[in-house]
Structure 1
Amino acid sequence: MRNPVKTIGTILDKQSVVFISSVDEEGMPNTKAMLAPRKREGIKVIYFHTNTSSMRVRQFRNNPKACLYFCDKRYFKGVMLTGTMEVLEDPACKEMLWQEGDTMYYPKGVTDPDYCVLRFTAQKGRFYSNFSSENFEVE
Structure 2
Amino acid sequence: MKKIILEKAGELLAKCDVVTLASINEAGYPRICVLSKIKAEGIRTIWMATGTSSAKIAHFKKNPKASICYYLGGDSVTLLGEIEIVHDAVVKKELWQDWFIEHFQKGVDDPEYCIFRFDTNQATCWLEKCFETHSV
The question of a shared fold, defined as TM-score above 0.5 by the shorter chain, is answered with yes
Deviation track 1:16-73 (CA, whole Å, cap 9, x = no partner) reads 22111000112111111112x111222111110111110011111110000000111x
Give the aligned partner of residue 114 of structure 2. Answer: 116
For 2:52 and 2:63, the matched residues in 1 are separated by 15
Farther-moved stretch of structure 1 (115-124 vs 89-98)? 89-98
Q: Report the secondary structure of 2:9's partner residue.
A: helix
For 2:53 and 2:103, the matched residues in 1 are separated by 12
Residue of 50, 70, 76 corresponding to 1:78: 76
For 1:89 and 1:77, the matched residues in 2 are separated by 34
Give the aligned partner of residue 104 of structure 1. Answer: 102
- 1:131 to partner: Cα distance: 4.4
8 Å Cα contact 2:13/2:42 also seen in 1: no
CA 1:71–1:111: 2 relative to 1, 3 Å: same
The TM-score, its normalising length taken from structure 2, stands at 0.92
Give the aligned partner of residue 48 of structure 1. Answer: 48
For 2:104 and 2:123, the matched residues in 1 are separated by 32
- 1:6 to partner: Cα distance: 2.2
Q: Report the secondary structure of 1:96's partner residue.
A: helix
Q: Which amino acid aligns with 2:134?
A: F
Identity of aligned residues (%): 33
- 1:129 to partner: Cα distance: 3.0
For 1:5 and 1:83, the matched residues in 2 are separated by 15
The TM-score, its normalising length taken from structure 1, stands at 0.90
Normalized per residue, the structure richer in helix is: 2
For 2:103 and 2:59, the matched residues in 1 are separated by 20
For 2:56 and 2:86, the matched residues in 1 are separated by 13
- 1:9 to partner: Cα distance: 1.1
The unaligned stretches of length 5 or more in structure 2 are none
Q: Which amino acid aligns with 1:114?
A: E
- 1:5 to partner: Cα distance: 3.9
The unaligned stretches of length 5 or more in structure 1 are none
Q: Which amino acid aligns with 1:110?
A: V
Q: Report the secondary structure of 2:43's partner residue.
A: coil
Q: Report the secondary structure of 1:101's partner residue.
A: helix
Aligned Cα root-mean-square deviation (Å): 1.4
